[in-house]
Amino acid sequence: MPHYSLTLPDARAVHIRLNAEALTLSIDELLIYTFDLAGRLIGAFDHGVNYRRGLDGRVLARWRDERNRRQRRWLSADEAQALLTKMRGELEVISKQYSVNSIQYSVIGGDETEYGIRNTHHEVAAVMARALDFDYVADIRRFHQVYRPISILPPDQYQALVLQATEGCSFNTCTFCALYRDRPFRIKTPAEFEQHVADVLAFFGPGVSMRRSLFLADANALIIPQKRLLPLMQITARAFPILPEGLDAAARRAWLDEHPHGMTGVFAFVDGLSAERKTVDDFRQLRALGLRRVYIGLESGHEPLLAWLRKPSTAAEMIEAVGRMKAAGLQIGVIVLLGAGGRRFDAGHVQDTAAALDAMPLDGDDIIYFSPFQPDPAAPYLSIARAEGVDIPDDAFMAAQRQRILDRLTLPPPPAGPKRVPYNLADFVY
């Protein structure tokens, strides 16, 4: 696509890039704004601070301090509004300077004809106009009409298009989690889900092109009985082209280029008990309809700790569930909770978690996530821990625990074995 450049009246250099997913404006490489194609601000970079704006209007700021440590905080409502106000001011100046006769361009791939360059120029102008006119108050209101709260996603799915086939969590017993305690669990009917998909597409509009995978929510959507789940998956398959399996990198890129609204697959959470209710053939049916990776919260392989955390599944059940899903050809994401149970459960947590991971048939298509425990005041964990004298782990303790688990693993490293990836819930913005 062409890369446009212009100079502002105050001599700052602006670089403009438009691709099939987003519009990016860079001012002296110190101030950067990213918009989806509906004109909705998604993120910004301002002199060393990254801002990620959620669809609910909240903004997370992230930066590194003088000791190169990662820092983050949520902006206040006034600060979030100030970010939008500053963006609009910069965008107004850029849009006034942006015309066919005042820009310079260089071509980065794509159509190099004068027609192609000018056509893209008009597309850039259209997205900038939508960004200037974007009504964030109405957009936030519409978001809350379309979605119940989107509490968490796996890190590789932060940019997924979320489809809420269920609402809430079917168990809601884990003492460390309060993500779904504000809503009862329920499964949407096919008619409700089909309307939900239509509402989601209408909400995102052209901005849906930034979302290249589908996440079937909420907490453990695969608990839906197979006879009720298949119609929902069929609705999804009708609404979105799904990337075929087995393509090499070049064919994969070509397919995605040819299908601007195509999706790489369907992804979802599951718990051990839900997975046990489905056979290998059940999972194969879901895979045929686009299911690609399933995420399971092992948390720990240490049965006493799982019982203390009131997890609904045992480690043995989760190991067996992963084996069944792998037999169906699915990819797996296994989540380990670092620091849970503090020093009381530390030794057993390390030893048994490594053993449980080694017992799973994980390969290079799979991911092990290490998630540091973050006390939630709304969850029962803190009061239980205080009553029983269980310490709250600090970052150093959790980092050391992660390393001891890794040291015990006999699974091969990538690319033959699963990737080992951090999963910090504090980084989640949707």
Is the pLDDT at 121 greater than 90? The verdict is no
Is the pLDDT at 114 greater than 90? The verdict is no
What percent of the chain clears pLDDT 70, i.e. is strictly above it?
Answer: 95
- Distance in angstroms (rounded) separating the CA atoms of residues 7 and 28: 10
Question: Is the same domain home to 80 and 177?
Answer: no
Is the pLDDT at 143 greater than 70? The verdict is yes
Question: Is the same domain home to 262 and 337?
Answer: yes
Question: Is the same domain home to 320 and 420?
Answer: yes
Q: Identify the pLDDT of residue 182.
A: 84
Question: Rg of the chain over CA atoms, in angstroms?
Answer: 23
Residue 36 has phi, psi (to 5 degrees) of -75, 175
Residue 60 has phi, psi (to 5 degrees) of -105, 125
Q: Identify which of 296, 338, 292 has the alpha carbon closest to the alpha carbon of residue 315.
A: 296
The beta strand positions in 87-197, using DSSP E, are: 104-107, 161-164, 166-167, 186-187
The predicted model gives 77-101 an average pLDDT of 91
User: What's the CATH code of the domain at 210?
Assistant: 3.20.20.70
Q: Identify the pLDDT of residue 275.
A: 79
The last residue of one of the domains, among 116, 136, 156, is 136
Is the pLDDT at 173 greater than 70? The verdict is yes
Is the pLDDT at 215 greater than 90? The verdict is yes
What percent of the chain clears pLDDT 90, i.e. is strictly above it?
Answer: 85
Q: Looking at the domain assignment, is residue 23 inside a domain?
A: yes
Question: Is the same domain home to 111 and 156?
Answer: no
Collect contacts of 259-262 with beta carbons under 8 A, ≥24 apart: 260/20, 260/209, 261/208, 261/209, 262/212
Please check whether residue 130 is in contact with residue 26, taking contact to mean a CB–CB distance below 8 angstroms: no
What is the DSSP-derived secondary structure letter of residue 330? -
Q: Looking at the domain assignment, is residue 85 inside a domain?
A: yes
Q: Looking at the domain assignment, is residue 60 inside a domain?
A: yes
pLDDT tens for 372-418 read: 999 889 999 999 999 999 999 999 999 999 999 999 999 999 999 99
Q: Identify the pLDDT of residue 156.
A: 96
Mean of the per-residue pLDDT values of the chain: 93
Q: How confident is the model at residue 118 (pLDDT cuts 50, 70, 90)?
A: low
The 3-state DSSP class for residue 367 equals strand
Residue 219 has phi, psi (to 5 degrees) of -60, -45
Q: Count of domains in the chain?
A: 2
Q: Which amino acid is at 297?
A: G
**Contact partners, residue 254, CB within 8 Å, separation at least 6:** none
Question: Is the same domain home to 351 and 288?
Answer: yes
Question: Is the same domain home to 204 and 130?
Answer: no
**Which stretch of DSSP H or E encloses residue 70?**
strand 70-74
pLDDT tens for 20-40 read: 899 999 999 999 999 999 999
Largest Cα–Cα separation, the chain = 72
Q: What is the pTM of this model?
A: 0.93
Q: Identify the pLDDT of residue 250.
A: 95
Question: Is the same domain home to 81 and 197?
Answer: no
Is the pLDDT at 50 greater than 70? The verdict is yes
Q: Which position has the higher pLDDT, 365 or 2? A: 365
Between 122-136, 260-274, 360-374, the lowest mean confidence (pLDDT) is in: 260-274
Provide the phi-psi class of 289: left if phi over 0, else alpha when psi is between -120 and 50, else beta. alpha
Q: Identify the pLDDT of residue 1.
A: 61
- Distance in angstroms (rounded) separating the CA atoms of residues 294 and 425: 18
Is the pLDDT at 104 greater than 80? The verdict is no
Q: Identify which of 94, 224, 246, 121 has the alpha carbon closest to the alpha carbon of residue 167.
A: 224
Is the pLDDT at 286 greater than 80? The verdict is yes
Q: Looking at the domain assignment, is residue 257 inside a domain?
A: yes
- Distance in angstroms (rounded) separating the CA atoms of residues 405 and 402: 5
Q: Looking at the domain assignment, is residue 276 inside a domain?
A: yes
**Which stretch of DSSP H or E encloses residue 324?**
helix 315-327
Question: Is the same domain home to 125 and 215?
Answer: no
**Contact partners, residue 130, CB within 8 Å, separation at least 6:** 37, 38, 39, 206
Q: Which position has the higher pLDDT, 181 or 317? A: 317
The predicted model gives 235-244 an average pLDDT of 96
Q: Identify the pLDDT of residue 274.
A: 77
Q: Looking at the domain assignment, is residue 261 inside a domain?
A: yes
Q: What is the residue range of 370's domain?
A: 147-427
Q: Which position has the higher pLDDT, 376 or 201? A: 201
Q: Looking at the domain assignment, is residue 142 inside a domain?
A: no
Question: Is the same domain home to 176 and 290?
Answer: yes
Question: Is the same domain home to 221 and 256?
Answer: yes
The predicted model gives 99-128 an average pLDDT of 64
The last residue of one of the domains, among 107, 136, 165, is 136
Q: Identify the pLDDT of residue 103.
A: 59
Sheet order of strands, 70-74 included: 70-74, 59-64, 49-53, 41-46, 31-36, 22-27, 13-18, 2-7, 104-107
The 3-state DSSP class for residue 333 equals strand
Report the DSSP beta bridge partners of residue 35.
23, 41
The last residue of one of the domains, among 136, 155, 173, is 136
Question: Is the same domain home to 254 and 316?
Answer: yes
Q: Looking at the domain assignment, is residue 306 inside a domain?
A: yes
Report the DSSP beta bridge partners of residue 104.
5
Q: How confident is the model at residue 248 (pLDDT cuts 50, 70, 90)?
A: very high
Question: Is the same domain home to 221 and 329?
Answer: yes
The predicted model gives 335-357 an average pLDDT of 98
What is the DSSP-derived secondary structure letter of residue 379? S
